[in-house]
């Protein structure tokens, strides 16, 4: 699949649930702590109770059969990498069955999952046996109190245990993603790197993006990638790594002793739209051609009605991909934040 800007799509991200057992400040800032922080710093938060969440009705959630069918169609068109996301994907009943379905699709070379890790121990062995190749954990703080402030849950010990378990049962490489928010966890970036080196992990720092349900994001909250790098270069001897492929979103560095790697994903300050090769499928069956799309394309209705055969969907999908946005417009006067938060869109 090729878009009108010459980009060849190889990567499909599938949100399998919009529900989550965390309330992270950059996604679902519904806790009192998040509410008070945003209201007290920059954003014009209302003087009301934290925002209530309306989940996608279960009747609208895409079935495993429909997801598998679409993966087969997408793989026939050149999609090679699949990532299962959420919400928190481990909240979806039978997730290991979906992993097995997707892993069996011809053409799928890489099957990964992004999780907060809280429920990972319950599913780890089953996921590995079903064919999951890689796992990425979201962990924004190593301080229990700050972890709870950022996520709304006292769950740091469970996440640390999940990372260790993933390594013990053979997942490799193991990535840890940390979203950096100024005056919340930016003081922890060196400690996170120390942890990643100690555990031989691939750590990714991610700039705070305007995808929170409270619409509280402001650019002042973003710690730019170059600022993160400058701080880390003062502390660590970093060796630049070449990109694994042209579409890689992270700029990466290694350490002289070979333990762990560091990556910085800077979609706000250093957009990488020119080589974006991603397509997204939401939990309710909408195709999104950009994380910040303001338009969604209804796949579910086409598949549910049963009137569209695979060839018709292929033709329709090629047209959708052809119209993929050239870039996002974060920070520009005409930027419009997506109507749905990251938990609905899928990371």
- CATH code, domain with 84: 3.20.20.70
Asked if residue 224 is part of any domain, the answer here is: yes
Asked if residue 58 is part of any domain, the answer here is: yes
Give φ, ψ of 117 to 5 degrees: 85, -10
Residue 237: CB atoms within 10 A of its CB come to 10
Judge contact between 104 and 82, C-beta under 8 A: no
% of residues, the chain, pLDDT over 90: 65
Q: Parallel, antiparallel, or unpaired for β 239-241 and 251-254? A: antiparallel
Q: Which domain holds residue 225?
A: 11-345
Provide the pLDDT for residue 263.
95
How far is C-alpha 93 from the geometric centre of its chain's CA atoms? 20
Provide the pLDDT for residue 266.
87
Judge contact between 141 and 147, C-beta under 8 A: yes
Q: Give CA separation, 199 vs 175, 211, 228, 300, in Å.
A: 11, 30, 21, 42
Provide the pLDDT for residue 244.
79
Judge contact between 283 and 62, C-beta under 8 A: yes
Among 75-84, 265-274, 327-336, name the one with the lowest average pLDDT: 327-336
Is pLDDT above 60 for 192? Answer: yes
Judge contact between 279 and 323, C-beta under 8 A: no
The answer to whether the peptide bond before residue 171 is cis (omega within 30 degrees of 0) is no
Provide the pLDDT for residue 252.
95
Asked if residue 144 is part of any domain, the answer here is: yes
| Structure tokens that stand for 309 in this block | 């055969």
Among 51-60, 102-111, 125-134, 301-310, name the one with the lowest average pLDDT: 51-60
Is pLDDT above 80 for 43? Answer: no
Confidence class for position 57, pLDDT limits 50, 70, 90: confident
Name the 3-class secondary structure at 219: helix
Asked if residue 204 is part of any domain, the answer here is: yes
Q: How far apart are CA 85 and CA 110, in angstroms?
A: 14
Asked if residue 3 is part of any domain, the answer here is: no
Confidence class for position 55, pLDDT limits 50, 70, 90: confident
Q: Which residue has the tokens 């064919």?
A: 131
Q: How far apart are CA 129 and CA 124, in angstroms?
A: 9
Is pLDDT above 50 for 51? Answer: no
Is pLDDT above 90 for 116? Answer: yes
Is pLDDT above 80 for 273? Answer: no
Is pLDDT above 80 for 53? Answer: no
Provide the pLDDT for residue 45.
53
Question: How many structural domains comprise the chain?
Answer: 1
Q: Kindly state the DSSP code that residue 4 receives in the 8-state scheme.
A: T
Is pLDDT above 90 for 308? Answer: no
Asked if residue 6 is part of any domain, the answer here is: no
Provide the pLDDT for residue 338.
62
Provide the pLDDT for residue 50.
43
Q: How far apart are CA 15 and CA 280, in angstroms?
A: 8
Residue 214: CB atoms within 10 A of its CB come to 21
| Bridge partners, residue 81, by sequence | 11, 110
Provide the pLDDT for residue 209.
77
**For the residues 142-155, what does the mean pLDDT come to?**
95
**For the residues 283-300, what does the mean pLDDT come to?**
88
Provide the pLDDT for residue 160.
98
Provide the pLDDT for residue 49.
41
Give φ, ψ of 253 to 5 degrees: -140, 150
Asked if residue 5 is part of any domain, the answer here is: no
Provide the pLDDT for residue 292.
76
Most confidently modeled of 33-42, 147-156, 318-327? 147-156
Q: Kindly state the DSSP code that residue 60 receives in the 8-state scheme.
A: G
Four-CA torsion 85, 90, 91, 96, nearest 10 degrees: 100
Confidence class for position 293, pLDDT limits 50, 70, 90: confident
Asked if residue 89 is part of any domain, the answer here is: yes
Is pLDDT above 70 for 46? Answer: no
Q: Which residue has the tokens 């992990």?
A: 201
**For the residues 64-76, what does the mean pLDDT come to?**
97
pTM: 0.90
Provide the pLDDT for residue 58.
87
How far is C-alpha 288 from the geometric centre of its chain's CA atoms? 14
Q: Kindly state the DSSP code that residue 335 receives in the 8-state scheme.
A: -
Structure-model confidence comparison of residues 45 and 34, the more confident one: 34
Is pLDDT above 70 for 278? Answer: yes
CA-based diameter of the chain, in Å? 60
Provide the pLDDT for residue 186.
97
Averaged pLDDT score across all residues of the chain: 88
Q: How far apart are CA 145 and CA 196, in angstroms?
A: 20
Confidence class for position 112, pLDDT limits 50, 70, 90: very high
Residue 179 buriedness (CB in 10 A; 0-12 / 13-18 / 19+) = buried
């Amino acid at each position: 699949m090729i878009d009108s800007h010459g980009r060849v799509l190889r990567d499909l991200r599938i949100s399998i649930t919009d529900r989550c057992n965390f309330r992270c400040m950059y996604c679902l800032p519904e806790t009192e702590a998040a509410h008070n922080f945003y209201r007290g710093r920059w954003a014009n938060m209302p003087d009301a109770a934290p925002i209530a969440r309306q989940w996608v009705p279960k009747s609208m959630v895409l079935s495993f059969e429909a997801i598998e069918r679409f993966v087969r169609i997408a793989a026939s068109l050149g999609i090679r990498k699949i990532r299962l996301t959420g919400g928190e994907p481990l909240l979806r009943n039978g997730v290991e069955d979906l992993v097995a379905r997707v892993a069996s699709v011809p053409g799928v070379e890489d099957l990964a999952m992004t999780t907060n890790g809280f429920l990972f121990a319950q599913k780890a062995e089953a996921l590995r046996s079903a064919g999951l190749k890689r796992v990425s954990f979201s962990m924004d703080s190593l301080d229990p109190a700050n972890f709870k402030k950022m996520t709304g849950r006292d769950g740091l010990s469970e996440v640390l245990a999940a990372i260790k378990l993933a390594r013990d049962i053979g997942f490799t490489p193991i990535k840890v993603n940390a979203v950096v928010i100024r005056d919340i966890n930016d003081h922890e970036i060196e400690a996170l790197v120390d942890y990643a080196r100690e555990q031989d992990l691939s750590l990714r720092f991610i700039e705070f993006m305007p995808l929170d349900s409270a619409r509280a994001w402001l650019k002042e909250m973003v710690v730019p990638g170059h600022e993160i790098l400058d701080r880390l270069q003062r502390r660590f001897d970093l060796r630049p790594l070449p990109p694994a492929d042209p579409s890689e979103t992270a700029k990466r560095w290694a350490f002289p002793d070979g333990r762990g790697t560091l990556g910085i994903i800077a979609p706000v300050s250093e957009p990488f739209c020119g080589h974006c090769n991603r397509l997204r499928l939401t939990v309710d069956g909408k195709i999104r051609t950009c994380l910040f799309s303001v338009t969604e394309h209804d796949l579910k209705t086409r598949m549910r009605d049963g009137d569209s055969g695979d060839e018709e969907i292929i033709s329709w999908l090629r047209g959708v991909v052809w119209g993929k946005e050239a870039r996002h417009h974060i920070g520009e006067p005409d930027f419009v934040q997506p109507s749905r938060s990251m938990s609905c869109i899928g990371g």
